[in-house]
């Protein structure tokens, strides 16, 4: 990939910060979208809540990557926080899509965040990108999230959706909370442990995003998950095996529901997602197995 100018929204998050580091290390010019006054030429101001973007700052960008959104697992799902989860994704995406579509010379690709949560509860059923959306709060958010990018697609810009799974990393996300528990010997299965977890190593997440930025013929939704999802029971065993810690503790489903409220349904839910289109595009995972993915987190 030749040196490019790439704008990134959500650049301070787990995936966004890793993407920025990767791009900068390879000599690309990265423009970060920020909610405050820009401190230099490498920043562009936006206000996703007000659906406003300094579109002029995106001029000359070869790609725009939108990874912004309030953390799904950051706090209990009160009605207010559910609105924040939804609005931070849908309003921000709509603002960016309209800004990009308004440019006289728009970028060649718009890469937008999404999530495997679009499929809802799948049980033991394997789903790929051809599966319809599920029912419930997260599927409805993901559908709106992707639909909000319609202006940029109508403008003829290649548009990609990243239906990301559970990212294995120490620096944040759900797995960032698991590592300290397992290292302390307090890790264990959640509920009965039979629910499927579709995971991806952070290294592979970033490599996949860059692959989708570069691949001129690819558009639409892509599942960013490792090829073989595992049950929570299997993931728990792998964490204990790699970290050399016991995994005797278990958190019963009623306790999870009492502590997490509505969000417990997604922790206990089963989502068996495979990256069919990503594999068909020629992408190769560096850490496809759960043991390798956990070790890659350092």
pLDDT tens-digit profile, the chain (298 residues): 678 999 999 999 999 999 999 999 999 999 999 999 998 889 999 999 899 999 999 999 999 999 999 988 777 888 999 999 999 999 999 999 999 999 999 999 999 999 999 999 999 999 999 999 999 999 999 999 999 999 999 999 999 999 999 999 998 888 888 888 889 888 888 888 999 999 999 999 999 999 999 999 999 999 999 999 999 999 999 999 999 999 888 876 676 566 556 655 656 689 999 999 999 999 999 999 999 999 999 7
Beta strands in the chain (DSSP E): 5-9, 29-34, 43-47, 52-53, 63-66, 109-115, 126-127, 158-164, 166-168, 188-190, 196-197, 199-201, 220-224, 230-231, 249-251, 272-273
Is residue 190 within 8 Å of 232, Cβ to Cβ? Answer: yes
- Residue spans per domain, the chain: 5-296
Is residue 281 within 8 Å of 211, Cβ to Cβ? Answer: yes
Q: What is the pLDDT of residues 250-274, one digit of tens each?
A: 876 676 566 556 655 656 689 999 9
Q: Strands 29-34 and 5-9, how do they pair?
A: parallel
Residue 286: predicted pLDDT: 98
Q: Is 0.85 surpassed by the pTM of this model?
A: yes
Burial degree of 184 (CB within 10 A; 0-12, 13-18, 19+): exposed
* Residue written as token pair 């204990």: 240
Q: Strands 199-201 and 249-251, how do they pair?
A: unpaired
CATH of 5-296, one of 3.40.190.170, 3.55.40.20, 3.40.1710.10, 3.40.50.720: 3.40.50.720
DSSP letter at 267 equals H
Cα–Cα distance measured from residue 76 to residue 1, given in angstroms and rounded to the nearest whole number: 42
Q: What is the pLDDT of residues 45-96, one digit of tens each?
A: 999 989 999 999 999 999 999 999 998 877 788 899 999 999 999 999 999 9
């Amino acid at each position: 990939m030749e040196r490019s100018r790439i704008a990134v929204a959500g650049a301070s998050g787990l995936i966004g910060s890793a993407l920025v580091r990767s791009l900068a290390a390879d000599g690309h010019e990265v423009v970060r979208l920020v909610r405050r006054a820009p401190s230099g030429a490498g920043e562009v101001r936006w206000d996703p809540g007000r659906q406003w973007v300094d579109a002029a700052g995106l001029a000359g960008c070869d790609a725009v990557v939108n990874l912004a959104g309030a953390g799904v697992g950051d706090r209990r799902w009160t009605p207010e926080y559910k609105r924040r989860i939804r609005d931070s994704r849908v309003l921000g995406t709509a603002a960016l899509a309209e800004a990009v579509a308004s440019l006289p010379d728009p970028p060649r690709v718009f890469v937008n965040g999404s999530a495997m949560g679009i499929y809802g509860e799948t049980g033991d059923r394997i789903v790929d990108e051809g599966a319809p959306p599920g029912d419930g709060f997260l599927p409805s958010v993901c559908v709106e999230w992707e639909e909000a990018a319609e202006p940029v697609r109508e403008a003829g810009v290649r548009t990609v959706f990243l239906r990301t799974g559970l990212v294995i990393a120490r620096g944040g996300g759900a797995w960032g909370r698991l590592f300290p528990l397992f290292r302390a010997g307090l890790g264990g299965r959640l509920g009965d442990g039979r629910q499927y977890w579709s995971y991806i190593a952070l290294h592979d997440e970033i490599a996949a995003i860059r692959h989708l930025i570069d691949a001129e013929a690819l558009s639409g939704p892509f599942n960013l998950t490792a090829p073989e999802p595992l049950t929570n029971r299997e993931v728990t065993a792998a964490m204990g095996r790699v970290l050399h810690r016991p995994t005797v503790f278990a958190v019963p489903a009623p306790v999870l529901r009492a502590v997490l409220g509505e969000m417990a349904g997604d922790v206990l839910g089963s989502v068996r997602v495979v990256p069919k289109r990503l594999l068909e595009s020629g992408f190769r995972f560096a850490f496809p197995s759960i043991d390798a993915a956990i070790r890659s987190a350092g």
